[in-house]
Amino acid sequence: MAGLINNLLILLLVFQNSCLGFRNPLSVFKRYKDTTRSLSNECLGNNRPVISLGLTDFALDIRMPGVTPKQSDTYLCMSLHLPVDEEAYVVDFRPQASMDTVHHMLLFGCNIPSSTENYWDCDEGICTDKSNILYAWARNAPPTRLPKGVGFKVGGETGSKYFVLQVHYGDVSAFRDKHKDCSGVTLHLTHQRQPLIAGMYLMMSVNTVIPPGEKVVDADIACHYQKYPMHLFAYRVHTHRLGKVVSGYRVRNGQWTLIGRQSPQLPQAFYPVEHPVDISFGDTLAARCVFTGEGRTTETHIGGTASDEMCNFYIMYYMEAKHAVSYMTCTQNINPDMFRSIPQEANIPIPVKSDMIMMTHGHHHEETKKTDESSSLKQPKREEEEVLDQGDFYSLISKLLGEREDVVHVHKYNPTEKAESDLVAEIANVVQKKDLGWFDAREVTNHDERANTSLARNRIHKFHRLESTLRPPENRHFSLQHGEGTWEKEHTGDFHIEEAVDWPGVNLKLGQVSGLALDPKNNLVIFHRGDHVWDGNSFDSRFVYQQRGLGPIEQNTILVIDPSNADVLDSTGKNLFYLPHGLSIDKDGNYWVTDVALHQVFKLGVHDKEPLLILGRSLQPGSDKNHFCQPTDVAVDPVTGNIYVSDGYCNSRIVVFSPNGMFIMQWGEETSVGKAKPGQFRIPHSLTLVPEFGQLCVADRENGRIQCFRSETGEFTREIKHKLFGRELFAVSYIPGGLLFAVNGKPYPGDTEPVQGFVMNFSTGEIIDTFIPIRKSFEMPHDVVASEDKTVFAGDAHAKTVWKFTSTEKMEHRSVKKAGIEVQEIKEADTVIEARLKNKPVSTESQKKWEKHHTVEQASPGISFVLITTLLIIPIVVLLAIAVFIRWRKTRVYGADADHKLESSSGGILGRLQGKGSGGLNLGNFFASHKSYSRKGFDRLSTEGSDQEKDEDGTDSEEEYSAPPPPQVSSSS
């Protein structure tokens, strides 16, 4: 009985000590020190470079193998072989480095590294074969995630077999303690084939000279682009200390379009391209770096040391897989005179706060310090504007932890998962002490205690804010449930389409609006029916027009409208048409129109009275290569000049002609009974070309879907279908940069999907936003067209109205999502720190629970204390009760001699359990006295997380929902 009670006593004391240990920073610190001793010369990346993330995905950790550079401006390289033979795609880059030790990193892909050593001096070379830059990092830039459906191809027969990491150590004063550096990058790879292949375009000046004392020096780069179209989605700038601003542009027909503009003294991340930009054959890519030579006493040249300069503009792009080129460079200036017309913004430096300035390098410390003092803005910082770099982060944490500085040191120079978790634990312990009012022995007054408590809270708030800049934000995305076709709009990206309510064009006097287009000057062109109406009496059963007696429309059917004020700039098309339908404008400004009554397609010059080309036979419906039957739309390829005609209401095909009107081919057939198959149509109603992908997309009206085909061959490539489309989808329009716009039809009786406009991501098919007018209402929106700045025009055949919609920034959500890539600004609220620092994904539900719990803790800081106290009191009360019971039993059985025996027995156990002079329990000392003791069961649990992001149901966002067939008689228009 006594033995059982003693065992129970030990178990209760163990339980009590585990409760105390939960908040004991000393135990955490001791475990941390024990662990880091064995890791002092190793890196996480070398111990476990490959981490499985499921059946198709894996992570690859590429780290320096514990190096200590001996001199400033050392470039060290290491290589890692791709662990798989088959093709894989890099979709995510997560840096593992601090600007306190690393100036910048580059990741290359190649097949033969220059060395087989663990690491080597990069002066020996990087690769012996051709190398491609995959990633670049500097100045604590955040992680880079590629758009959905885009990846850097590696492995297989044509992809790189090796990754080579190059690390530039600028100032080695950080290595005075001889610690080992483990900087690097973690890659997320997938075996799932990506439809779009990413690449890197590097624009770099090689011969710029910056004279000493010169206030402004420009370095210009420009090259002609002569390859297949590419879409730009991210950019990065890079200079050293003297760079003020770097800007990149596309130049087309003398017009400069901004790709990106940034200060190189800010974190050198890959930023999203503000407005999606496509580059086509014949365009010019141009970039300018603005430097200053002030503060220098000698000339500064382009070079690889911190005292030299660089002028680099990196562009991330994607191309269709079959045309993909993984890496391109531009180091020339093919037309210096063109920079006379560069936008003025390229010459205006971007102000940067002194706390964001790049760390100084070696002997330039004093010089840089003086420059910073003279150039920094003399303005007080507002709390919401304050941004901390990672150097401030470690300084802040060192001050916060005080005696835990070596914890910070190890995390700073060896930022492994274990180090991060223990650092968070230390912070949590310190904050709990401060928030609960536990004062340090060094604090002698209540005033000091309150001041330190306030300081700790302020510092930890800054830490939470800073942590959100060091780790990626939780992904905000759209969830499209594959089977049901429902969609959940968590965020609408960076913009929302709304009607421009002050645009007077809604009041234009028009007939039935059938077609819209934008001319080369971005003017809106409207095709309308004047006083003619398409109704049930317009055609007979053989589709022959029955109202020829009315004659052609006497009004001008084509109007050119100023898109800003709706003024009519020009008009034409009088006495030419009976029932206008589709409208398109080619790159030369010619109008291409269809007339469903005439069954013809026309090419019209802007100022020509007679058509330049006519396809089809007047008033003769047919289905051969010389006839149409109510053709609906036309599109002209800007590269080949080929003509695509959707034919139509009584034919179900796409017909292709050469630029001079010769028949080339056709594809398509009528929809069979049941689910519509690829290539089958029920009124192919609207066309849009996607030049950068070589595709033609068709609004398959009565099947309520979009079908896309290869424009060269007619091969089906994809279907986009959503339940929100309803049973009819009238029109579709594409803009360079990857956005599709569409409008649907009115719902059938019993259906609930409203008539509205849609914005979609072309790559994924996801709905990004929907829009409806405020003035008047959609009745039968018949066509839609959009410009590159996301201005949208919708024309309605029944309402006889044209609306203008513009994109408005979402001020309440300060993240930016451009072409699928997402970068979130610093949050003001606290974040889920520990999960983020462990690189573990946080589900929305888990995050909400955590936030709720965190709110409760903030509202009632004493709850934790009360809970722990209660947990501690319960075993003590039980212990005392048992002790009293034992004493009573011993007294009855053995008498007074039992008192001494009990005290001796209990004292032996308690003496071994109590820490020396600690006033608390020390399980380590107790269990260490047993030979079989192991700490393994009491160490902090380590979990591996995945950064893989999916839709909530784990499926693709593109839907397969098919609407039931509509009634036999469909609405005409």
Report DSSP letters for 926-947, one per residue: HHHTSTT--SGGGSPP------
Residue with structure tokens 């790709």? 259
Tokens standing for residue 551: 């004659």
Residue with structure tokens 């156990």? 909
- CB burial readout 346-377, b (16+ within 10 A) else e: beeebebbeebbbbbbeebeeebeebbeebee
- CB 355 within 8 Å of CB 388: yes
Helix (H) or strand (E) holding 501: none
**What's the angle, vertex CA 88, arms to CA 85 and CA 89, rounded to 5?**
160
Instruction: Give dist(CA 653, CA 714) in Å, integer.
Output: 11
Helix (H) or strand (E) holding 101: none
Tokens standing for residue 855: 């709110």
Eight-class DSSP state of 918: T
Which of 16, 166, 390, 600 does the annotation list as catalytic? 166
Is residue 436 exposed (0-12), middle (13-18) or buried (19+ Cβ within 10 Å)? middle
- Tally Cβ neighbours within 10 Å of residue 567: 12
Instruction: Give dist(CA 969, CA 941) in Å, integer.
Output: 67
Peptide bond into 920 cis (omega under 30): no
Instruction: Give dist(CA 658, CA 395) in Å, integer.
Output: 68
Non-local CB neighbours of 596 within 8 Å, separated by 6+ positions = 534, 579, 581, 630, 631, 632, 648, 649
DSSP three-state, residue 520: coil
| CA-to-CA separations, 131 to 94, 111, 331, in angstroms, rounded | 21, 8, 17
- Is-catalytic flag, 191? no
- CB 481 within 8 Å of CB 458: no
Tokens standing for residue 344: 């003025």
Which of 200, 230, 310, 328 does the annotation list as catalytic? 310
Closest CA to 234 of 846, 738, 849: 738
What beta strand segments (E) does 120-183 contain? 120-121, 132-138, 144-145, 150-154, 162-169
Non-local CB neighbours of 274 within 8 Å, separated by 6+ positions = 258, 260, 818
Which of 238, 477, 685, 722 does the annotation list as catalytic? 238
- Is-catalytic flag, 240? yes
- Is-catalytic flag, 168? yes
Which of 16, 64, 99, 104 does the annotation list as catalytic? 104
Report DSSP letters for 866-897, one per residue: HHHHHHHHHHHHHHHHHHHHHHHHHHHHHTTH
Q: What sign for the dihedral angle of Cα 277, 281, 282, 286?
A: positive
| Strand 327-330 versus strand 196-204 pairing type | parallel
- Is-catalytic flag, 238? yes
- Is-catalytic flag, 104? yes
Instruction: Give dist(CA 99, CA 791) in Å, integer.
Output: 41
Instruction: Give dist(CA 838, CA 246) in Å, integer.
Output: 34
Closest CA to 332 of 279, 285, 262: 285
The residues assigned a catalytic role are: 103-104, 166, 168, 238, 240, 310
